[in-house]
Structure 1
């Protein structure tokens, strides 16, 4: 019997970014994910508006005979920075280690988005939009932000699933757990269709913190002998051959 609230964040399957859909492997992953999720008692489903997330959710939703509520802020994190070398917009993660590890602000909450790298774009604005909406979202389940934790009047044991993306998922986790976002963006990888689980802990009546039970779990792929996709992951050895088109390790 589950007595904690569980929030399951699912990254979309292996992406076909050109068509905002999934690769053939990604569609296989989505079916295997559905095999896993259909064993759970899930109250609500939520989804990014992007095609690759919707395609990932579809097999699960069909088995539950449910629809997912779509929110724009569950879409891929759209904040950008300006790359100094090219003067072009780029995502605010996947920076070279030498370019960010020397910046003290990146290791501090409430400061990282004020670093000169981040202020070249709109990262703070987008981060605030996403995290404020996440707090409003949690209020419908009875959790109200109070400093760096949450309060509630009644306990909640719902399980919900959010089909989304790597960048926004890690941004939300950073807010809920109080970890500077760059440390998650730069230091964590969640594979396609991986499941990240947050559980509520109410050890004192009305005082709640969310604990991360698992990050990027791909056990549903393992049991089916489906390789884990490397989409969004860099090769570990400089100069080694690039990952093949059919990703996986």
Structure 2
């Protein structure tokens, strides 16, 4: 089985849609994806992901399954250097989080004080979508909720999570496409790779409309693992003469005033 995880196009976060550039990117993405034999499409309920998916779906005369758990992973924490405001769990300074060895551990990263103090349980509003948080609240509970839904979907398609690998209930070469968000993409990949999401949140960046390809390897009968063969691929943009957007990145050099600092 093959999974294609697609980040939305260049975002207009204020209106939860795409910029003009984002729509151009989505058109080029549609040209790429429409050539594939796709079993199922899945999409976040947020506007920027649905808008990105819309051009591909129109071109292929298909529909996508909308999944609440594919929305951006935006649980808030108390960032150590910003005590006056909440920050998303994966947006804080490397010189702060890297001091704690536990953040590199997949079994300990969510137990750290900042993560335990995530957004209180209950409902919150975000980009026009009302989301019910899990009863326990906090970053760890949200992570567990996302990956359990992800595993349930994979099981429906023949791959059942058992420990750190997947039992092959029904081997197949199906392609599934997920239109979602960078932070959420890192959560899914960290689960498949059995690593802390902090590593992916802080050491990778998938540009808007980039495609990350993950496939199963069944090296012994009935036992599969997932392997990334392409991360954040934007070749469709270069083929169409469109440069990748900067969204999600920070300044390459501090002296560059035109790029995002914090």
Following the alignment from structure 1 to structure 2, what is the Cα–Cα distance between the partners of residues 228 and 66?
A: 26
Partner of 1:202: 218
Q: Which residue of 2 aligns with 1:139?
A: 155
The aligned length equals 240
Aligned partner of residue 19 in structure 1, secondary structure: coil
How far apart in 2 are the matches of 1:160 and 1:154? Answer: 15
Cα contact 1:79–1:127 (8 A) shared by 2: no
Taking a change above 3 Å as real, the CA distance of residues 108 and 165 of structure 1, as seen in their structure-2 partners, is same
Gaps of 5+ in 1: 245-249
Match of 1:118 among 115, 118, 123: 115
Whether 1:179 aligns to 2:175 is no
Of 86, 96, 101, the residue aligned with 1:99 is 96
Matched, 1:55 2:74: no
Q: Which runs of 5+ in 2 are unaligned?
A: 119-137
Matches within 5 A, 1:32-47: 32-47=28-43
- C-alpha distance after superposition, 1:91-149 (max 9, x if no partner): 01132111011111111111100012211211101001001111111010011111101
Mean CA deviation greater in 77-86 or 210-219: 77-86
* Residue matched to 1:225: 241
1:139 partner SS:
helix
From 87, 90, 95, the equivalent of 1:90 is 87
For residues 105 and 79 of structure 2, the distance between their equivalents in structure 1, rounded to whole angstroms, comes to 22
Does the CA contact (< 8 Å) of 1:78 and 1:126 recur in 2? no
